[in-house]
Structures are given as structure tokens and as C-alpha cells.
Amino acid sequence: MRLLQYNDDGEFSLTEFFDNIPPYAILSHRWGPEEVTFKDMIERTGTSKAGFDKIQFCGEQARRDGLHYFWVDTCCIDKSSSAELTEAINSMFRWYCDAAKCYVFLSDVSRPTVDGGNRSHQYPWEPAIRRSKWFTRGWTLQEKALRGSPLADFSVAERMSWIEARQTTRKEDMAYSLLGIFDVSMPLIYGEGREKAFKRVQEEINKHSKGFDQELQGAQHIIVCYKCGEDGHYANDPHCFKCGEYGHYANDPHCYKCGEYGHYANDPHCYKCDRWGHFAYACQI
């Protein structure tokens, strides 16, 4: 885990820890158009970016709270390394759980002005906070889930439903942002699409479901749809409105020879990888 430190000279430095991680603060926020990256931090070129303000805020608040280290995802993760990004996303919920302090930076909420004549029981900044887009983003769900009842008290269906009203920039992140919520890990495949990402997440949940969620105990290898509760398909599996079956769409290619969907009878077939769409000489495996 890579942590930031606010030095006496006002500069920030990065230190990587493999074990014995010191107490640290962590920042929860929405990404903006000008974030300070890991490269910016190494080359010291990010101070003019808009995202530098939140890093400075986090560092100053951590210092006031007696913490020497803090973590901000924009610049503590080298996102040019797919391996590091995968490790970070699979570890992120644990990092938030282990933090001594978690600060929330709401870029769309202005600092409140004091109104001495306001006799309302509601603070003047409360409505603005409730309208913040922080509550609509997929990746902030795990931070919001840190407080309150233990996650194990909620069913798989309930936890899955929490993401439905939220949004992510990358469509696969709608699924990846749930990894910590279900305490599962898996490789990230950006470009696979939302449906495949959700399917893989649900497969991982099923693998670890015994003793993990009462509604799925003893059903480790059963495919379950969290929306309808039926076995045999996932919630985001393709559904054919013509035959009512899952696994394909009505207009998907269909092979009359083998009866499978996804290819036509005369499509190229590779005997090496047993896939359709190319011949063996063009196989990349």
C-alpha cells in the first residue's frame, strides 16, 4: 500500500508499505476532470490541477488528527500498471475499513455561511449535502457502507440492489465496485462489458456463499438470480423473449446442427480452442 505524507516543507511524498502499515487517513470523493495522478506526484507537476485541493485538504486534516500518513486513490495508485490497479481495487474496501479516519470531500457542496437568525432545527448545509452527487456514484458505495449494521446482516439481494441507483464512468465498475461489499476478489477485465462483469461477480459470490449468506447456504455451485430468486441464471444473463429461456437473445445467431446459440452452422470453427469465428491458423491461443 502506497501512502502520502505531508512533509514539514509543505511538500507531499509517497512511501510504499508491504506490511506494518502505520495509522492513516483515507479520502472518499468523486473524480473530477483534473485529478492529480501518480505520475504527477512523482514528477511534482500536479500542484496546478484542480484535484490538488482535495489532496491538500486530506493532508492538513490528517495532520490535525495526529496522523502522519494518508491515502488518496487518484495519486497513490499507479493506474498505468494493470496488475497494481487490480490489486488496489480488490484491496480497496479493506483499506477503507482499516483507516483510522475517513474524510469525505464533497466538491459540489459549498462551505456554509453562518446565519444567526436561523432558528430551524436543520443545519443550513444539510439540504446541499443530501443533493451531493457523492451519493449517486458507484465507487462511493463501499465508503457509505462502512457505518451501520454489519454487511453480513444483509442478504445478497439487498446488497446487490444498493448499486442499482448509482453510476460509474466505466460500465464494468458497476460490478467491480461490489467486490468489497461481498468480500470477494477477481481479476479485472475492462472491456468485457457490464453483463459479463456482473456475471463473474455473482459467480465469485456463489463460490463463497456457504456460511456467508443464509439465503444461499449449501448452494455454493447453484446459479441464482438475485432479482427473481430463481436458479439456473444470473440477473444480467441474456434473456430471449421468444422462448423465455436465459443464455441468449431472440436475435442471436443459432446453429441448426448443434442447437447452440452464438454461431451459425457454417461459421469458422477452431479445433485448437474450440471456439467459433476463426480457423485454427488464425488462433491466438
In a shared domain, residues 57 and 152? no
Q: Give Cβ neighbours of residue 191 (< 8 Å, ≥ 6 apart).
A: 172
Q: Give Cβ neighbours of residue 40 (< 8 Å, ≥ 6 apart).
A: 46, 49, 75
Poorest-pLDDT segment among 137-141, 202-206, 254-258, 270-274: 270-274
CB atoms within 10 A of CB 25: 25
Q: How far apart are CA 88 and CA 76, in angstroms?
A: 10
**Which tens digits make up the pLDDT trace of 143-176?**
998 887 888 888 888 888 888 888 999 999 999 9
Element (DSSP H or E) covering residue 157: helix 156-161
Mean pLDDT of the chain: 83
Residue 219: closest CA among 206, 234, 235: 206
Domain that holds residue 100: 1-110
In a shared domain, residues 93 and 1? yes
- Domain count of the fold of the chain: 2
pTM for this predicted structure: 0.70
Residue 231: closest CA among 243, 217, 221: 221
Place of cell 436561523: 118
In a shared domain, residues 168 and 90? no
Task: Tell whether 218 is covered by a domain.
Answer: yes
